[in-house]
Amino acid sequence: EVKAKIAPSMLSSDFANLASETQRMLNSGADWLHMDIMVSLFFLCCYLCPEPMNPEVVATLAYAELTTGHWGFFLNSFYFCAFQIPPRGGQVSLHLWKIRRHFVPNLTIGAPVIESLRKHTTAYLDCHLMVTNPIDYVEPLGKAGASGFTFHVEASKDNWQELIQRIKSLGMRPGVALKPGTPIGDVYPLVEAEAPVEMVLVMTVEPGFGGQKFMPEMMDKVRILRKKYPSLDIEVDGGLGPSTIEMAASAGANCIVAGSSVFGAPEPAEVISLLRNSVQK
């Protein structure tokens, strides 16, 4: 039998009063505190030189009546381009970088906040990493005092074995999350590995923001997982509250993340106990 774990998502809390907000949730009966760690910086990658010129770049070059030797730049949402103005009749060579975006369009908290919070509470900090390179965060979060480290399967295609091992070696509990568009089969190898994840987080909204609408069609994933792995911790995250908990609980989810429904309620304790009762029924 798996145990119910109710995890208020601190993304919906008052970040300026994080310590007292976590205490308020623990006093209201929370088992875990769900910490959403997201990064949304743009970064440049893939040095391609030269690359077939796209019409916009050509148009910019045509207007660049600058002095020979000067650098020109061009930016659109896909490329960052730098070029040096050649002597008359000379060849332009473009230095093109492709712009890639991180996992989600939002930026939240990181290891320094976890470290500060850890000084105020012994609670289980259930960290959900919505980042493109989760491995970079293992050591900082482990040292900061995170309890669970849940990374996305979409962001760990070629290094999940190493990732799981490093998470465990830093004393954290490894979990894997999947976005709504990702097939459930993608996580089986991680659950069945020699060093397996100990939790699967089925996203029930597109990751990025609190307060979105629950996607009931994700319950098929939860049912399949529960049938295959009777004692696995299965977490659901996004749009959970009194009106959706029945669907999640009856499908077999036992770890329930809830942000806006708990923080938006006049009595968070009532919502937390309602969520718990549905899971334990």
> Which stretches of the chain bind Zn ion, using CB under 5 A?
36, 128, 237
Q: Residue 149: beta bridge partners?
A: 127, 174
Are the C-beta atoms of 68 and 86 separated by less than 8 Å? yes
Rounded to 5 degrees, what angle do the CA atoms 150, 11, 235 make?
A: 35
Shortest distance in whole angstroms from residue 129 CB to Zn ion: 9
174 binds, among Zn ion, ligand DX5, none (CB under 5 to 8 A by kind): none
Which of 134, 175, 252, 259 touches ligand DX5 (CB under 6 A)?
259
CA–CA gap between residue 155 and residue 194 (Å, rounded): 20
Closest to 28 in 3D by CA, of 239, 274, 272: 272
* Side-chain half-sphere exposure of 270, counting CA atoms within 13 A: 5
Q: Any contact of residue 6 with ligand DX5 (CB under 6 A)? A: no
For this structure, is 36 an active site residue? yes
- Compute the least distance from the CB of residue 208 to ligand DX5, in Å: 5
Residues 256, 157: Cα–Cα separation, whole Å: 26
Q: Which residues inside 115-144 make contact with ligand DX5, applying CB under 6 A?
A: 128
Q: Residue 6 or 144: which CB sits closer to ligand DX5? A: 6
Which of ligand DX5, Zn ion, none interacts with 211 (beta carbon under 5 to 8 A by kind)?
A: ligand DX5
Name the binder of 253 from Zn ion, ligand DX5, none, CB < 5-8 A by kind: none
Instruction: Please count the CA atoms within 13 angstroms of the CA of 122 that sit on its side-chain side.
Output: 0
Strand partners, 127: 35, 149
Q: Does 34 bind ligand DX5 (CB under 6 A)?
A: yes
Cα first-last separation, the chain: 12
> What does 238 interact with, of ligand DX5, Zn ion, none (CB < 5 to 8 A by kind)?
ligand DX5
- 146, 172 contact by CB (below 8 A): yes
Q: Which H or E element spans position 187?
A: none
Q: Is 180 in the site for ligand DX5 (CB under 6 A)?
A: no
Tokens 């809390």, residue located: 13
126 part of the active site: no
* Residue 8 interacts with which of ligand DX5, Zn ion, none, CB < 5 to 8 Å by class: none
Residue 241 Cβ vs ligand DX5, minimum distance, rounded to whole Å: 7
Instruction: Evaluate the CA torsion angle 248, 250, 252, 257 in order and state its sign.
Output: positive
User: 3-class SS at 37?
Assistant: strand
Span from 6-14, 79-87, 157-165, 227-235 in contact with ligand DX5 (CB under 6 A) = 6-14
**143, exposed or middle or buried, with CB in 10 Å at 0-12, 13-18, 19+?**
middle
The residue within the footprint of ligand DX5, chosen from 186, 208, 250, 270 (CB under 6 A), is 208
CB of 136 to ligand DX5, least distance (A): 19
Binding flags for ligand DX5, 69-108, as an x/- string (CB under 6 A) = ----------------------------------------
Please give the residue ranges that form the binding site for ligand DX5 (CB under 6 A). 9, 11-12, 34, 36, 128, 205, 207-212, 237-240, 257-261
Catalytic amino acids? 36, 237
